[in-house]
Amino acid sequence: MKALRKFLDKKKPLFEKGGKFAKLQSTFDAFDTFLFVPDHTSKTGTHIKDAIDLKRTMSVVVLALIPSLLFGMYNIGYQHFLSVGETAALMDMFVYGLIKVLPIIVVSYVVGLGIEFAFAQMRGHAVNEGFLVSGMLIPLVMPVEAPLWMVAVSTAFAVVIGKEVFGGTGMNIWNPALVARAFFFFAYPSKMSGDAVWIAEKADTFSGATPLAHAATLVDANGEIAKSIFEQHLSNAWDMFIGLIPGSIGETSTLAILIGAVILIATGIGSWRIMLSVFVGGYAMGAIFNLIGANPYMELIPAWQHLIMGGFAFGAVFMATDPVSATQTTRGKYIYGFLIGFLAVLIRVMNAGFPEAMMLAILLMNTFAPLIDHYVVQGNVKRRLKRVKVKA
Amino acid sequence: MSNKEPLFSTKNKKLLTNPLGSDNPITVQVLGICSALAVTAKLEPAVVMTISVMAVLALANVIVSLIRNTIPSRIRIIVQLVVVAALVILVDQVLKAFAYDVSKQLSVFVGLIITNCIIMGRLEAFALGNKPLPAFLDGIGNAAGYGLILVIVAFFRELLGSGTLYGFKVIPQAFYDMGYQNNGLMILPPMALVVVGIIIWVQRSKDKSLIESN
């Protein structure tokens, strides 16, 4: 460690003003502060001293994503061997998944960080660490068979249009990882939906549709057919909870996501208010549909099952809680979260074209988050003004 | 009229060239965005739309400029609309007669030229206060500036979204065999907005005087 510090200190003057590589100052700074706690101090005014800066915050989130990632790798192997009808050892499944997932992660990080560094250099900013999390989230919401160049294009779009145009980390109005996924979904729909992309190298005869896709077919099915679809594909809630179902790499296992949620809540980084209200909102809409029961989708899927299907849990824990694009006020968080869950289930059931509605619901509410905050703050101001008048 | 201006005095030239760059109707005046989103999925409709707008805008500018001193200002919008509507109907009929396919593609957007903000904007801002010749040049210039952006946007959208340019296939089949796919999002209107946004971004980072201070 000491040798590393010494090495960095020795090189530092090269990157400072007037040094040989002064242009690369922010790149150097990024690596330096990634490795060591930064020694920058504020020169004037009051400031809060806290060990947990942006980099540490981001590292915790990445840590919380690890269970989902590891389980995702295992599940990819599991689904593959299941589809071709072979039995394999646990380790084989995991290694198979690892080989499949690793390139996607590498592409996401290389492209995203490359653009991020380039922008920081051009603008003379310090490199922001926001992409550490986005770069991990992007692979986790991709189908395993996503072509790498499409991942690269989506990532580039997300970083440039989703983030840099607004001024970089902390200024974006949408969650960049979801922008990447939305771009992918609309640009290359054949690689993001259907039943061919969720299982790696699957046998042709094996249906690889996600439970959500099966559920979407319920809308037009009736009576016996609907029941048989449900029995065959949607009745095994335990598998959905554990995550042994086809789906995006990191989204399948509600269990692994909950472990991540515990980490986020325990460290105070993710907002439990948002997570809770997303689940409540989803359940509420599901329950309403159960009451209406206009088609088999509404009738047969119990409200709680919506919460463990598809990307609902993943979105609730990792996407909706993104501190930049979410609401900031306490009351706003409840409204924001509730509407995300509510809309996600609503879109899912009402529009078979968008089975994975969590992404759309979160992006939509991201857009409205500042508005919600505005009215919460204004409401508060009004209430307090009234109090003053009564006393006077 | 002793101090007759030459046809291409600097002032008149500016009327033609400014809208192409620093006074572009789409990227600087931010007018006519709606049709820029609607007709730019392919190059051909974009070009036809440009020509139609150019014809309507130039002629409307001239006509309104000619009668500018006789229009009572309280009903000027109605008068302008009548002039524009008459011209748009002419253009629509000509397209239907000579370019039926494109006219089909543009469908309702030809008729909607009436509501194209650029036209009303230029009539209000320029034709009402200037002589016919400068008004004519202003119309041509603004329509060209509008068309320039339309064509740039349509170029990228058609190339990336359909793999063609002006209907001709430009991305070789070998690419598709290797796994390349057309970007479906490019065909959708939101992407036109993003491309226009990128053009505005590039333009303003080159010409700092365009950046509004607030």
**Residue A336 confidence (pLDDT):** 95
- Mean pLDDT for all residues in chain B: 85
Residue A90 structure tokens: 């646990």
Average pLDDT over residues A308-326: 90
Range of the domain at B100: 23-206
Residues of A within 8 A of B185 (CB-CB) are: 183, 186-187
Instruction: Report the share of chain A in percent with pLDDT over 90.
Output: 38
Among residues A263, A256, A262, the alpha carbon closest in space to that of A241 is found at: A256
Nearest CA in chain A to B183: A187
Place of tokens 């046998």: A203
- Report the number of distinct structural domains present in chain B: 1
Task: Tell me whether residue B10 is in a domain.
Answer: no
Residue A387 has pLDDT above 70, yes or no: yes
Task: Tell me whether residue B58 is in a domain.
Answer: yes
Residue A332 has pLDDT above 60, yes or no: yes
> Among the listed ranges A222-236, B59-73, B84-98, which one has the minimum average pLDDT value?
A222-236
Residue A127 has pLDDT above 90, yes or no: no
Higher pLDDT, A224 or A247: A247
Across the interface, which of B183, B184, B201 has its CB nearest the CB of A165? B201
Contact: A186, B186; criterion CB under 8 Å: no
Instruction: Give φ, ψ of B164 to 5 degrees.
Output: -125, 165
Instruction: Report the share of chain B in percent with pLDDT over 90.
Output: 24
Task: Tell me whether residue B4 is in a domain.
Answer: no
Q: With contact defined as beta carbons under 8 Å apart, do B19 and B139 qualify?
A: no
**Residue A41 confidence (pLDDT):** 66
CA-based nearest distance B103→chain A, Å: 28
Task: Tell me whether residue B154 is in a domain.
Answer: yes
User: What is the Cα–Cα distance from B82 to A75, expressed in whole angstroms?
Assistant: 67
**Residue A23 confidence (pLDDT):** 66
**Residue A37 confidence (pLDDT):** 67
**Residue B1 confidence (pLDDT):** 40
**Residue A377 confidence (pLDDT):** 95
Residue A184 has pLDDT above 60, yes or no: yes
Higher pLDDT, B196 or A36: B196
Among residues A264, A299, A289, A388, the alpha carbon closest in space to that of A347 is found at: A289
pLDDT one-digit tens code per residue, B145-166: 999 999 999 999 999 888 888 8
Contact: B185, A190; criterion CB under 8 Å: no
User: What is the Cα–Cα distance from B87 to A48, expressed in whole angstroms?
Assistant: 66
Average pLDDT over residues B58-82: 91
Which positions ≥6 away from B41 have C-beta within 8 Å?
A: B154, B157, B158, B161, B162, B186, B187, B192
CA-based nearest distance A174→chain B, Å: 15
Contact: A186, B194; criterion CB under 8 Å: no
- CA A222 to chain centroid, in Å, comes to 35
**ipTM here:** 0.81
Instruction: Give φ, ψ of A160 to 5 degrees.
Output: -75, -55
**Residue A261 confidence (pLDDT):** 94
pLDDT one-digit tens code per residue, B158-193: 998 888 888 788 888 888 888 788 888 888 888 888
Q: What is the DSSP letter of A125?
A: P
Residues of B within 8 A of A149 (CB-CB) are: 179-180
- Mean pLDDT for all residues in chain A: 85
**Residue A111 confidence (pLDDT):** 94
**Residue A367 confidence (pLDDT):** 94
Question: From residue B115, how far is each of B19, B48, B66, B82, B118 by CA, in Å?
Answer: 20, 17, 22, 12, 9
Task: Tell me whether residue B12 is in a domain.
Answer: no
Average pLDDT over residues B44-69: 91
CA-based nearest distance A187→chain B, Å: 4
Nearest CA in chain B to A182: B185
A353 near B CB under 8 A: no
User: What is the Cα–Cα distance from A269 to A250, expressed in whole angstroms?
Assistant: 20
CA-based nearest distance B125→chain A, Å: 32
Higher pLDDT, A112 or A223: A112
Residue B202 has pLDDT above 50, yes or no: yes
For the stretch A289-303, what's the b/e string if a residue is b when 16 or more beta carbons lie within 10 angstroms of its beta carbon? beeeeebbbbebbeb
pLDDT one-digit tens code per residue, A8-62: 777 777 777 666 676 676 777 777 777 776 666 667 776 666 666 777 788 889 9
Higher pLDDT, A232 or A272: A272
User: What is the Cα–Cα distance from A110 to A139, expressed in whole angstroms?
Assistant: 12
Element (H, E) at A144: none
Long-range contacts of B121-127, Cβ-Cβ distance < 8 Å, separation of 24 or more: B121/B25, B121/B29, B121/B31, B122/B25, B122/B57, B122/B61, B123/B60, B123/B61, B123/B64, B123/B80, B123/B84, B124/B80, B126/B61, B127/B60, B127/B61, B127/B62, B127/B64, B127/B65, B127/B68
Nearest CA in chain B to A146: B179
Task: Tell me whether residue B67 is in a domain.
Answer: yes
Q: With contact defined as beta carbons under 8 Å apart, do B28 and B207 qualify?
A: no
| Other CB atoms within 10 Å distance of the CB of residue B144 | 19
Average pLDDT over residues A103-120: 91
CA angle B119, B121, B127 (to 5 degrees): 80
Task: Tell me whether residue B169 is in a domain.
Answer: yes
Contact: B194, A183; criterion CB under 8 Å: no
User: What is the Cα–Cα distance from A24 to A269, expressed in whole angstroms?
Assistant: 31
Contact: B194, A190; criterion CB under 8 Å: no
- Top residue of B182, B183, B199 to mutate, by most chain A CBs within 10 Å, is B183
Specify whether the backbone of B43 is left (phi greater than 0), alpha (psi in -120 to 50) or beta: alpha
